Structure 1
């Protein structure tokens, strides 16, 4: 099973990478961007019987820093092979 874990900084936590991206976009002439928050995407390929509790534990123990980050787990639909 394919799983995406989206990790982002909690609101109010300083995001220097987001600020750098915002500054670069302005430097390239893009207007209308009010704020940028950078995060990361972690792709997991896990056994089909991996439970939600196990995925949650992976995030809490390793994939996200629970002090400053939030996470969202997304199970991807099974890919259909064309015959």
Structure 2
């Protein structure tokens, strides 16, 4: 079973990478772009066959390693 973990900076946390992307888009002539936030996507291939347990396992992985829960939030979806 495959799980996708999306990790993003929490709102209110400084995101210099997102700010740099926003400035670069503006310098390339892309008008009308508001705030840009940059995060990461991690795909996990899990041996678990039960969807509920697979999601629970991926969420535990995100809490313990994949996301810094002080400054980042995460979302887990099965794909």
Please give the TM-score of this superposition, normalised by the length of structure 1.
Answer: 0.86
How many pairs does the alignment contain?
A: 76
State whether structure 2 residue 78 is matched by structure 1 residue 75.
Answer: yes
Q: Which runs of 4+ in 1 moved over 6 A?
A: none
| Higher Rg | 1
Higher helix share: 2
Q: Give the unaligned 5+ runs of structure 1.
A: 77-83
1:21 counterpart residue number: 21
Superposition RMSD in Å: 1.1
Please give the TM-score of this superposition, normalised by the length of structure 2.
Answer: 0.90
Q: Give the unaligned 5+ runs of structure 2.
A: none
